[in-house]
């Protein structure tokens, strides 16, 4: 039985597909955008996950043993098209749960987000999975609704699922939004181009960066590894870095970068962020991230400058 992955052409999805295949799994990848390549052991389905019949067709046709649901409109796009975000992120996930209930109930793992949390002044300490959910943006609200849907299906029908809340997932392939700025800076630095720091977070914000190769392992472990005891997890790396420290590492690990410039950003456009405690998933799953941010810079250099390595990562084109 295969593992079905939605959002398979996205930032995290394509690495999840690769990780599953490396572990000997068959994969059904689902997206509205075809992947750059369809790997051996992979079947691609172009589909709209915001449609109820799509889910019934996919689950009946492929009978997956697990679904890793990553497909969603990201923060940037949700902000500009909230109605579509509600259709895709909320209704699409609801249709998945209902189709799973009506068919064979595969193991369900879905991507939530730390966007479900509210502004930092609401939390006296670091944010844990037990902290109140009070999203301030439409994207976070859609993810909070997905968590409520999962909780309802557990209470009403006994359907278990696991939601992972990535804190700072970065890597090649997405260059819009806040994290897209980090990905762009990394790419430009290792390829000798100018690096611009368009500051997003306030100076006191701290993050737990997690490279896409590691977060892919987290999702795969949740889907096909030993069953996890909790429904919701914050997921991030073991390092705690401010935005300034992240850019320091980018510049230090890519000394051949082009000119560096920090853009002036009005204070009202900066985003405050509370640190998230990500220890529960690490403890319950028994896995740890492999790449520090400095290690990820070396990985990024190889990805953009070594064609053989890029082919190994992305597959034959």
Asked whether 199 and 270 are in contact (CB, 8 A), the reply is: yes
Residue 254 structure tokens = 């890519």
**252-308 pLDDT per residue, tens:** 999 999 999 998 777 666 777 788 999 999 999 999 999 999 999 999 999 999 999
pTM over 0.75: yes
At the topology level, CATH places domain 3-314 in Rossmann fold (3.40.50)
The Cβ of residue 69 has, within 10 Å, a number of other Cβ atoms equal to 25
Please state at what angle helix 212-224 crosses helix 13-22, rounded to 10 degrees.
60
pLDDT the model gives residue 291: 97
Sketch the domain layout of the chain as residue ranges: 3-314
d(Cα 114, Cα 234) in Å, to the nearest integer? Answer: 7
Q: Residue 229 has what pLDDT?
A: 97
pLDDT confidence of 108, banded at 50, 70, 90?
very high
Q: What is the DSSP string of 284-311?
A: HH-------HHHHHHHHHHHHH-HHHHH
Tokens of 14: 């394509």
The tens digit of pLDDT for each residue in 121-154 reads 888 888 999 999 999 889 999 999 999 999 999 9
């Amino acid at each position: 039985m295969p593992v079905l992955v939605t959002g398979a052409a996205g930032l995290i999805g394509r690495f999840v597909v690769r990780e599953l295949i490396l572990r000997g799994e068959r994969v059904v990848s689902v997206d509205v955008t075809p992947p750059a390549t369809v790997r051996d052991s992979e079947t691609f389905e172009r589909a709209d996950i915001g449609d109820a019949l799509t889910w019934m067709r996919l689950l009946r046709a492929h009978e997956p043993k697990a679904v890793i649901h990553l497909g969603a409109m990201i923060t940037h796009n949700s902000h500009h098209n909230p109605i579509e975000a509600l259709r895709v992120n909320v209704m699409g996930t609801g249709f998945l749960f209902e189709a799973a209930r009506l068919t064979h109930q595969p193991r369900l793992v879905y991507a939530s987000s730390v966007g479900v949390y509210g502004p930092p002044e609401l939390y006296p300490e670091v944010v844990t999975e037990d902290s109140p959910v009070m999203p301030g943006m439409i994207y976070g609200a859609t993810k909070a609704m997905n968590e409520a849907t999962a909780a309802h299906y557990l209470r009403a029908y006994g359907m278990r699922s696991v939601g992972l809340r990535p804190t700072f997932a970065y890597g090649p392939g997405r260059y819009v939004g806040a994290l897209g700025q980090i990905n762009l800076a990394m790419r430009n630095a290792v390829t000798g181009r100018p690096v611009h720091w368009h500051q997003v977070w306030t100076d006191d914000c701290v993050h737990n960066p997690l490279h896409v190769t590691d977060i892919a392992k987290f999702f795969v472990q949740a889907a096909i590894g030993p069953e996890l005891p909790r429904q919701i997890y914050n997921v991030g790396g073991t390092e705690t870095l401010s935005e300034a420290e992240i850019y320091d590492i980018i510049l230090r690990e890519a000394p051949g970068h082009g000119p560096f410039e920090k853009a002036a950003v009005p204070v009202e456009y900066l985003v405050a962020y509370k640190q998230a405690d990500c220890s529960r998933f690490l403890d319950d799953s028994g896995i740890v991230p492999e790449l520090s941010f400095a290690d990820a810079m070396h990985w990024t250099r190889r990805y953009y400058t070594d064609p053989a390595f890029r082919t190994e990562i992305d597959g034959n084109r």
